[in-house]
Structure 1
């Protein structure tokens, strides 16, 4: 039996006992790859950008390989990787985004495909991501709120409230005291309450019941017909809409309707749709007819937040996100 197979079959027990100094690169790659998706989701929560998370996971694996001799088995291999990933995120934030988001919008926000979230382990109570996703910490409103926190309190919140790390372990990761970590957690929780929607506990989330599906259908039909009056009847008085990375946050039905009118949406023709889902939320991908191509080409993706039988938020992404969601490159005429 090869060493690769033996390590895979033994799980993390062997490296936890003996360290990684004698593990070669193929064996090490096998060990870290099993944690790629959960680390990617962790970095995505920290950064709000799918692509930045992708880059940071690669950096995490590179750092882990270079520092493999520092793993002594006092913690689990997973926890060791999370420490490296969190510090890689903090380093990236210090370089690219030293200041948190402001004003309720996140221009670097990107969607996370549900098909990739489905790769997370969901049948093991010991898997942190199984709990984290169930607690609705992957939805876009949560991501937006998190991005309004300063990087270190953000890390504290995610490590403590999402992943369930003890305060002393988070303090060790950040090179801080337990008291400082607890203080940062309280500030972060207060910041989250300020930026999360008040009705968050009543979200439909990813559990699309018949009412939710019917609402999405009506929204889709009204959008294809570019019927603003019908769309306005489906949203709440305090609905919010944005279109990252394009600046602009519109709050309230009147402001959103005015935005739709000013953008030239009313009277637009030649739309078709494909239903999808991202961040455990319903989404609608729009295609626009191009006669010169003889096909419908990608236009935008609307991600909906639904509460109380109405749409409370619409976040629209540009066509460059279609490949990430594995949506068709074009739709035929018929």
Structure 2
């Protein structure tokens, strides 16, 4: 294969490989770095490609193992905990996936969702949602790799085993443990969301936007499910339940008011979910506030993830 042919093939698959690395690492920044390393390794090792698997599968093997190497060699890089400008209420718990980052829907364009094999258990949409990616971070790296390769990409056991230098029996064991953990976390995160861009989704988002901008806490209470949660990576603070969430939002709103700030929300989409880029505005000047991703269940709001860095 010539360099030109290889580069053309890589260009056609770069975005899906980036999504793959993101799922395993939970961080877009880390995924971009590791993918660059993987593609360089693939180019250097192209002469050793023997054609026993497809070139696409070969690239997935290299990318997967580069992700596993990064997790093993570097460890999980925990970002520094930010200091809020106000004293937040006591959190319900402290989260353990503070490195989680959102994935812009713009990067999902041209990522094929029809190349998944018959073994796939998750739709392309389910497999990029924040709750799913966060659940993957709670697995061991090899469990996560086996689950993504088999249940997301649909590779059969016989193909995944050599990718991870093990046996189909070992892959079955990894899958059994991984599926249980992921399903427990996904069930706790909420139920079925409305279809992207559908009237039900737009209705909930519009209600939330108006209520949040106007500090209308009564409406926000009515939108939240009983088991709703709020997380804010890279801070570990998590608030679970309506009362805890509203307490945090009231405290945040009171601080903004004391500073003469109001928050401007610009709609976007992250991880296949409705989201907002926020900016603090005062006297005509603006500064970034971060990102907010909504998790919907039916016609209610079951989760809010506030990314405190401006991604």
Match of 2:137 among 137, 144, 147: 147
Residue 280 (str. 1) matches residue 272 (str. 2): yes
Q: What is the match of residue 251 of structure 2?
A: 262
Match of 1:121 among 96, 102, 112: 112
Q: How does 1:217-236 map to 2 (within 5 A)?
A: 217-236=206-225
Q: How does 1:115-194 map to 2 (within 5 A)?
A: 115-122=106-113, 125-126=114-115, 134-194=124-184
Which deviations, in whole Å up to 9, do the C-alpha atoms of 1:213-269 show, x marking residues without a partner? 111111111111122232122111111111101111111111112222334557634
Please give the secondary structure, in 1, of the residue aligned with 2:139.
Answer: coil
Give 1:172 deviation, angstroms: 0.9
Gaps of 5+ in 1: 1-19, 322-334
Q: Is the 8 A contact 2:289 2:309 kept in 1?
A: yes
Match of 2:204 among 204, 215, 227: 215
Which deviations, in whole Å up to 9, do the C-alpha atoms of 1:282-316 show, x marking residues without a partner? 1122222133xx33332132111111211000001
* Cα distance in 2 for residues equivalent to 1:189 and 1:196: 10
TM-score by length of 1: 0.80
Which deviations, in whole Å up to 9, do the C-alpha atoms of 1:172-214 show, x marking residues without a partner? 111111111101100000111221125755222x523212211
Kindly indicate whether structure 1 or structure 2 has the higher relative contact order, using CA contacts under 8 Å at least 6 residues apart. 2
Give 1:109 deviation, angstroms: 0.8
Gaps of 5+ in 2: 79-92
* Cα distance in 2 for residues equivalent to 1:34 and 1:267: 46
Match of 1:308 among 292, 298, 303: 298
Tell which structure's C-alpha radius of gyration is larger: 1
* Cα distance in 2 for residues equivalent to 1:97 and 1:264: 37
Which deviations, in whole Å up to 9, do the C-alpha atoms of 1:14-54 show, x marking residues without a partner? xxxxxx4xx24x44322322210000000011111111110
Runs of 4+ in 1 over 6 A off after TM superposition: none
Q: How does 1:40-79 map to 2 (within 5 A)?
A: 40-79=18-57
Q: What is the match of residue 89 of structure 2?
A: none
TM-score by length of 2: 0.86
RMSD of aligned Cα (Å): 2.3
Q: Is the 8 A contact 1:240 1:312 kept in 2?
A: yes
* Cα distance in 2 for residues equivalent to 1:103 and 1:184: 27
Q: Is the 8 A contact 2:94 2:237 kept in 1?
A: no
Give 1:106 deviation, angstroms: 1.6
* Cα distance in 2 for residues equivalent to 1:224 and 1:264: 10
Give 1:95 deviation, angstroms: 2.4
Give 1:69 deviation, angstroms: 1.1
Give 1:142 deviation, angstroms: 0.5
Match of 2:227 among 231, 235, 238: 238
Please give the secondary structure, in 1, of the residue aligned with 2:143.
Answer: helix
Q: What is the match of residue 197 of structure 1?
A: 187
